[in-house]
Amino acid sequence: MRLQTVIRGSRVLHGTIVSRQMLRLGQGLVGSRPVFRLINRQTVGCLALAALFAGCGAEQSPAPSPSAAPAKPAVEVPATPVPVATEPALEPVVASDPLSLDTAPLATGGADGEESVDDILAELNAIKLEGDGGKSLGDPDKVVALMHEGNVLISAGRPDAALARYNEALEFAEDGEDSEVFFNMGIAYKAKGELAKAAAEYERALELTPQYAEALNNLGNILKDQKKYDQAIAHLESSIKVFPGNPKTHNNLGTVYAIKGDVNKAALYFAKAAHLQPTYFEARQNLGIAYMQQGRLDVAEKELSEAVTMARGGMAYEQQRLAEAKAALAKAKTPAEQNAARGEINEAEQAGRLAAGKYQRGMGFLQSVRAKRGAAPPP
């Protein structure tokens, strides 16, 4: 009777886990990624026109992004060097699991003298549940929890600690593999500047989920950084086929074409990115630069004016945010409130510097195109 009870309980628990995983797949909780609002990271180097084009390498990730050396630009640029634009990094894959086994008890003790569910579960703890082919079913809830901890550490700028959590998550993953965990490990390695390892993790994610749009995007950016432009284009185009509505991938692809000297194709992708997200500063600025290189100075001025207006608004927002954070610090009474206010001040100051950099960069390009047209410089 005891053995039969354990076997029956094992089957019920096995079925519950499998059903839950099927529900996760059906709801897009596994094998698909939301678009992130990634952490900004400065790209280090895009070759040639990358010195002009912004948003080079916007990733779906929780950390920053990179690139390579300059060639002779086809247009005038401000006297001061123009840093390659920062990219809003998508955050790591969101770790949330609304389907919890805890809400569905397997059974209750009956009048026939069988063991209670607690007794059954205690005995099942010693049993390693397996699926078809002898593969371990893993512990999805544990994977989600550890991945969430890793994501928090990535956001805090601690990629090594995040990698430790992700590796631990793999110990609880089904058959020791999980495309979301591999994807986030790629982000962590990218944050450490270890591009080869980051690329390897994105490739592992794609082996499990070939149509993983964000992994294709991020791997395409790494290939661009490694000057493997044709491969970068192939991966970015594949990402767009899976997720055609992601403006950052269009901007990234336009940047690669700009590096290769194909300004006409670059302009098409920058225009698509700006159409998908009209408030996308980097795409609007890049489009203005591309138009300027094509000699279309009227539309170049229009796009660059829009970019400058957005950057000015960003500066005003961050200044207001900083003032509110300082006021909150002055009113804070507990150490927790003080720490929260100081953290907000630091973030607002950093974001304000980024916004000011965008404004200065945009103004430089706008002044250049207006000088070509013989128009008065903007205020």
DSSP state letters, 169-218: HHHTSGGG--HHHHHHHHHHHHHTT-HHHHHHHHHHHHHH-TT-HHHHHH
pLDDT for 293 = 95
CA-closest candidate to residue 285, choices 62, 71, 75: 75
pLDDT for 114 = 53
In 10 A of CB 214, how many CB atoms?
30
Dihedral sign of CA atoms 171, 172, 176, 179 in order:
negative
- Structural domain contains residue 313: yes
Return the ∠ at Cα 111 (arms to 109 and 114), rounded to 5°.
50
CATH number at residue 243: 1.25.40.10
- Structural domain contains residue 278: no
* Structure tokens, 379: 């205020």
CA-closest candidate to residue 195, choices 71, 86, 64: 64
pLDDT for 288 = 97
244 and 322 inside one domain = no
- Structural domain contains residue 226: yes
The residue whose two tokens read 């397996």 is 130
251 and 378 inside one domain = no
Supply the range of the domain harboring residue 118: 2-262
262, 278, 312 — which closes off a domain?
A: 262
307 and 207 inside one domain = no
DSSP 334-379: SHHHHHHHHHHHHHHHHHHHHHHHHHHHHHHHHHHHHHHHTPPPP-
238 and 357 inside one domain = no
219 and 101 inside one domain = yes
> Contact 53/46 with Cβ under 8 angstroms?
yes
- Structural domain contains residue 280: no
Q: How far apart are CA 55 and CA 82, in angstroms?
A: 12
22 and 125 inside one domain = yes
pLDDT for 246 = 97
> Contact 180/166 with Cβ under 8 angstroms?
no
Q: How far apart are CA 19 and CA 17, in angstroms?
A: 5
257 and 362 inside one domain = no
Roughly what angle, to the nearest 10 degrees, separates helices 297-331 and 281-293? 160
Given a cut of 50, the residues of the chain with pLDDT beneath it are 1-10, 12-14, 16-51, 63-91, 94-112
69 and 209 inside one domain = yes
pLDDT for 59 = 73
- Structural domain contains residue 269: no
pLDDT for 148 = 96
151 and 6 inside one domain = yes
- Structural domain contains residue 277: no
* Number of structural domains the chain divides into: 2
80 and 155 inside one domain = yes
- Structural domain contains residue 211: yes
199 and 126 inside one domain = yes
Scanning the chain, the segments in alpha helix (DSSP H) are: 2-26, 117-124, 140-155, 159-171, 179-191, 195-208, 213-225, 229-242, 247-259, 263-276, 281-293, 297-331, 335-373
Beta bridge mates, 209: none
105 and 182 inside one domain = yes
Region label for 125, one of left (φ > 0), alpha (ψ between -120 and 50) or beta (otherwise): alpha
- Structural domain contains residue 219: yes
Dihedral sign of CA atoms 280, 301, 315, 313 in order:
negative
Q: What is the three-class DSSP state of 130?
A: strand
- Give tens-digit pLDDT for 184-203: 999 999 999 999 999 999 99
